[in-house]
Amino acid sequence: MSFDKVGKLIKEDYELSSHDHENNDLLKVIGGISKLNEANRAMFCRWVKYGFIEGSKAFVSPVGTITLTDWSSEVDPLIHDLINNGIATLNDRGYVEIPYMMRWSEITDLSPVCVDDSLGIDPSETIYPSPMIMKVPPSKELIEDSYDDLSRSLANTIKGFDFYIDGEVVHVGLNVRSIGFVNPVLFRSPIDVLVITDNRSIIAHKVIDPSRTVHRGLSSMEHYLLDGIDYAVLVHKYTYYEDHVETFNKIISRQYIRDSGFVIVPYELDYMIFLKWPRYNSIVTKSQGVASKRALIGGAISFMLNAR
């Protein structure tokens, strides 16, 4: 789907609901996934594990609920399989909703039904991710900055969310190079927009305008993850879909930055386009050094928030 049609789709096809499903029986989800046929299960598990979808028009809410408004014939068997097995439901507009789908891998163990051996990413494969459109709330602040100050505009946008990716937003910082007062923790790359949630999750954003630099921000993703940040998100100003597909495939094919999220923002910044939902930094569970740095960051954040 062309990005040029996204704004029209928002106005004509979808009105963001302020209420997601309050409860979602994850045991029922796991049971439903186990009943999918082999090909559908492999495709769906890959989407859930890595945080993207294909062949669909989709909206995503801040809590990770996916709403599909249309899809290609290639994924039609999967969509019907999801509905028939209770994983997805039809809402009152006839759209397909999958509550909290983008967060399932964070809040439950899917390994009994999603076997890693079938979820590999072939580096030679080019994946064309479907845009997952997130409508943003009205800003709580009067924004007088020009769009050129994309980091500040994004920060003001995120402040308008109650919940964002992994928790309720409690702090948003700009151009953060360290955290802590007495023994500050230094970051290898400055964090353009730092978000802290009520459960002390740390979400770091690198903001890039690809039309102004040859750099794509991939090294910052690596630095954020190695520094123990919980979630790393690369944000690009919209240029061309093909360029964004190339960046997405660089992220998904490189295991050391595969947990990163990837977002495109249009000129007006009245919606955010997720090509890839971020995954919790798996390096924290594999490296003692990274885990130790995450503990230091966590301590500094707790001190900062408690001192308010």
Kind and range of the H or E run holding 302 = helix 288-306
Q: Which residues pair with residue 234 across a beta bridge?
A: 206, 262
- How is residue 41 annotated by DSSP? H
Residue burial 65-81, b: 16+ Cβ < 10 Å; e: rest: bbbbbebeeebeebbeb
pLDDT surpasses 50 at 5 = no
pTM: 0.89
Domain boundaries, the chain: 3-132, 136-306
> What confidence category does residue 307 fall into, taking pLDDT thresholds of 50, 70 and 90?
confident
Q: Which class is domain 136-306? A: alpha beta
SS3 86: coil
User: What are 172-221's pLDDT values in tens digits?
Assistant: 999 999 998 777 899 999 999 999 999 999 999 999 999 888 889 999 99
- Burial (CB < 10 A; 0-12, 13-18, 19+), residue 10, is middle
* Confidence bin at 26 (pLDDT 50/70/90): confident
Q: Which are the contacts of 244, defined by CB distance < 8 A and separation ≥ 6?
A: 236, 238, 262, 264, 275
